[in-house]
Amino acid sequence: MDITIREAQQSVDRWIRTTGVRYFNELTNLGILMEEVGELSRLMVRKYGEQSFKESENNPDMEDEMADVLWVLLCLANQTGVDLTDALQKNFQKKTSRDRTRHQDNEKLKPR
């Protein structure tokens, strides 16, 4: 099932209002977002970085961790009236205009 960002925002809102009862307040959701990003960070540091997994960390699921981050971000967008579809389109325009040649001209990014 393919889902657009707008549909995802609507689905999360519907779920919150029926199954979740209500949204946590914005500040609580910001804290939850930081927790979820931390969990994703821990997993990535162990998988792609130099740290090893602990014995208690069995079968970490990167997809699930990323989905948790996205879920809370969608909640925050809904709570603050941000249409993430529009926001992402505007962000692409900003980056394209601002960074048209910036990365291509960056010596640090050129193949070695």
Domain boundaries, the chain: 5-82
Distance from C-alpha of 112 to C-alpha of 108, rounded to nearest angstrom: 9
Distance from C-alpha of 71 to C-alpha of 101, rounded to nearest angstrom: 33
State the pTM of this model.
0.87
Q: How far apart are the first and last CA of the chain?
A: 41
What does CATH list as the number for 5-82? 1.10.287.1080
Residue 1 pLDDT > 90: no
Distance from C-alpha of 67 to C-alpha of 38, rounded to nearest angstrom: 13
Each residue of 16-60: pLDDT tens digit? 999 999 999 999 999 999 999 999 999 999 999 998 888 887 778
Residue 5 pLDDT > 90: yes
- Position 60 scores a pLDDT of 81
